[in-house]
Structure formats: C-alpha cells, structure tokens
Amino acid sequence: MPQPSLTPRDLSILWYAWQQRFVAVRQFQRLFWPQGATVTARNRLNELRDAGFLASETFPVGADRTLYFSAKAGNLALVEAGLLPEAFGGDYPRRPKEMTLNLDHDLRVTDLRIAIEETGGIPITWTSDHQLRQNRGSAGPNTRFADGLFEWEAQGKRRLAVLEYENARYNRDRWPNVLLRLRSKHSDRLVFLVCRTPARVRSATAIIRATRVYADRSDGLVIADFPSVAEKGLKAGFVDLEGRPLDWTSA
C-alpha cells in the first residue's frame, strides 16, 4: 500500500500526538475536523496508522476506547519537516495495556489544552509535560513537572501561564510541596489550577489559602473545575484565591 502524502494537517496531527503522547479520536476531531463527522477523522487517522505514521490501541470498554499515539515513521517525518529534534526520532510510547489513572489524567490534560487553545491560548507556545520531561536537564527521574506551559493573549497582550490539573485528590500534606514547586519553578507565570469538580474547587481553595504559599500573591493562582474548563477553556470562570474573576486586562 503506497504511503499517503503528508499534508500540513497530518504533520500537525503527528506533532500533537508526540507532544501529548495519547490522543482520542474525539480530541483529534475537535482539533482538526471541528465541522466534520467522526468517521472522517477516524478514516484519516487509520490511514496514517496503516502507513506507520501513527500507532493505535483499542480497549474493550470505555468512552475513549481507541487511542492514537506516535510511531517511529511519524516521528521521522516530523524530524524531516524540522518540527522535531533528530534526537527524539525514536521517542514514542509503549503500547498501553489498560486505561490507567495516569492515562486518564493525560487524556484530561489534552482536553484542557484543546479548550484553552480555543479561547486565548497560543498553540505554538504550548510545552507539554512530555516535552518538559525530555528536556529535564539535571532534574532527576522522579521530578514532578507541570501539566503544561503556555502563553495566552488578552487585550492584545501576551501572558505566561502554567497548567496544573488535580485528577486524583492531593492530600492536605501534599499541597505545600505542589504549590512551592509551581511558585519556585514558574515564578513568572500565572498558575491555572483545575480540579475535577466545583466542590473540589471550594475545598482546594480553602486548603491552598491555609498553606499561605500564595499569601502575598493571591492573584498568582486562579482555579476552576474540569467540566467548565474542558468546555469553555479560559472563559470557564477562573477565580483567584480571593474569589475575584480572572483579570483579562492587566499585563
């Protein structure tokens, strides 16, 4: 079977797969076929998979039964296009055996990224958790990284941001370490913290305020719930630790 000629959209698909590791059909559809049918997206993804540019795995059950991820041929195409450093040509994930909590977390982060980029996030500036790990430098293998770094735009101004998603509840003792890491490593960025539910937003806000890590900078972190952000992105009603809405006007 002859290999398909790669279009700019195909290269974007391959790049997104490399950055995010695992991507569901519905996510690719929202990104690259927003007005198209799922079958159209699935057919093209399967063409790329059959040609070796992507790999896929299908689970017996689940909302996101089929996931696509990067493969060597796709990575080499990105290298040839100048989108991926040659050193990462062989960097693709192992085939998943089941839907783990970590995989669920990563898929939800991709949902958040897509929605953020739809509402003010600048796509070309996104640095994924995977990229941060690949460029960890002297950081050890157990170092924890943010879920994404990005720039967003409001009133014609660019601002720096970091995404932190709490998929599984952090216990009260863990919060200071999480917050201190975010503040020390990303002191120049506004923290967008996303919790799974509105109820968790309320309890997490109380815990964060009690740690006093952001006591002198209550507007350095904004918080919202996952369902709202996955749908509305930066327009989801983020508020700071004092309950004030996200400021779209300050530089």
Residues 6+ apart with CB under 8 A from 40: 33
For 65-94, the pLDDT digits (tens) are 899 999 999 999 999 999 999 999 999 999
Dihedral sign, Cα of residue 175, residue 230, residue 108, residue 147: negative
> Contact, 122 vs 150, CB < 8 A?
yes
Domains located in the chain, CATH noted: 8-97 (1.10.10.10), 104-240 (no CATH)
Query: Using 50, 70 and 90 to split pLDDT, how confident is the model at 247?
Result: confident
Return the minimum-mean-pLDDT range out of 11-15, 45-49, 137-141, 186-190.
137-141
Looking at residue 170, what is its pLDDT?
93
Report the alpha-carbon distance of residue 137 to residue 145 in Å, rounded.
12
29 closest CA partner among 5, 47, 13? 13
For 125-180, the pLDDT digits (tens) are 999 999 998 886 655 555 778 999 999 998 888 999 999 999 999 999 999 999 99
